[in-house]
Structure 1
């Protein structure tokens, strides 16, 4: 696997954790844990599950906010019509590529 494929897979996994299906997996895991190994569910296990749940909630909220921001920016780009086409399609790039492009633009401008 190349580093681009690894970065792309990590980004994809991050996006998947913001989907409602991630919560279904969480509840299924917690339920199966209670069914098959109830004796091991102690305060540490509850803290672990709570941490996992909060991570999913935070990821979901952040993804929602990011998508809303992108939708607003896309509308502004369409309204202005003079935006750099490379910047307008930046959503499809990996975070490292976006950072590099921002650095180039800052050096040029």
Structure 2
């Protein structure tokens, strides 16, 4: 399942939506909506755009926190020479990482 194309695509989309370019896509969408169909941009449409914006803000905050945790862990792993076997786990899919954690927890 780790090599399934959908899992890689979902991970890429999740990473992409945490980038500033995603906010530009939202802004462009809102501008196109105003220009081409102003009548349908009522309070429901505004709520849709605000919900989308808040989702992007949350995604960005979670991505920032995750990157900070990874940087801290990378530094700890670099200082511990016996931890070199786990340093390449960042390239794995989330499901594979969960399986790896489960195996390690059962071994403890």
TM-score by length of 1: 0.94
State the distance in 2 between where 1:89 and 1:3 align: 16
Alignment-derived partner of residue 106 in structure 1: 105
Q: Aligned ranges for residues 68-107 of structure 1 at < 5 Å?
A: 68-85=68-85, 87-107=86-106
> Is 2:7–2:93's contact at 8 Å kept on the other side of the alignment?
yes
* 1:16 correspondence with 2:16: yes
Structure 2 unaligned blocks of 5 or more: none
Residue in structure 2 matched with residue 35 of structure 1 by the alignment: 35
Structural RMSD (CA): 1.3
Q: How many pairs were matched up?
A: 107
- Secondary structure of 1:82's aligned partner: helix
| Unmatched runs of 5 consecutive residues or more in structure 1 | none
Shift of 1:42: 0.7
Tell which has more relative contact order, 1 or 2 (C-alpha 8 A, sep 6+).
Answer: 2
Distance in 2 (alpha carbons) for counterparts of 1:84 and 1:20: 33
Q: How far did 1:21 drift? A: 0.5
> Once the 2 structures are TM-superposed, how far is the Cα of residue 4 of structure 1 from its aligned partner?
1.6
Residue 62 of structure 2 aligns with which residue? 62
Whole-Å separation in 1 of the counterparts to 2:12 and 2:56: 15
